[in-house]
Amino acid sequence: MILDHQTRKGTCVMAANYTIKDGAILCHACGLTSHNPNDVQNLFCGKCGKFHTKKKKYNHLFGLGFTVDSDNDGEAITADELLAAMERRVSYLRQHRGEILEACGFPEDTIENEE
């Protein structure tokens, strides 16, 4: 199975509003099947007169706070110390799953993924 609308014979793509299989596109709204290569390429339904769109995907940035215990003032924290502290925090959250959403909060940034 392939995940985009570029199709070849013998492949199948299923989306919420269309299916592409064996070089044809089936519109789930009206039931029309088109074997026109342009319709397949452009995700177009001639009966509905509409272009199907792929479901948008998003990328969310979250922050996760954790603490690092060290013998210095914080200017010389090592990568190993940071990693160990992160691993302790994640391990704790695995055992206390109810605290995960509070620990992460809301996304700090969200972008739409490029196709």
Would strands 44-45 and 50-51 be described as parallel, antiparallel, or unpaired? Answer: antiparallel
CA angle centred on 89, ends 85 and 95, rounded to 5°: 145
Helix and strand numbers, DSSP H then E, in the chain: 3, 8
Would strands 18-21 and 24-27 be described as parallel, antiparallel, or unpaired? Answer: antiparallel
Hunting for tokens 């391990």 — which residue is that?
91
Dump pLDDT digits (tens) for 48-97: 888 877 667 788 999 999 999 888 888 899 999 999 999 999 999 999 99
| Number of residues that make up the chain | 115
Q: Residue 4: is its pLDDT beyond 70?
A: no
Reading the block at residue 104, the tokens are 């992460």
More confident residue, 8 or 74: 74
Structure confidence at residue 9 (pLDDT): 43
* 3-class DSSP state of 9: coil
| Cα–Cα distance for residue pair 33/27, rounded to 1 Å | 6
Structure confidence at residue 54 (pLDDT): 67
| Cα–Cα distance for residue pair 17/115, rounded to 1 Å | 18
Per the prediction, the chain carries an average pLDDT of 82
| Cα–Cα distance for residue pair 10/32, rounded to 1 Å | 19
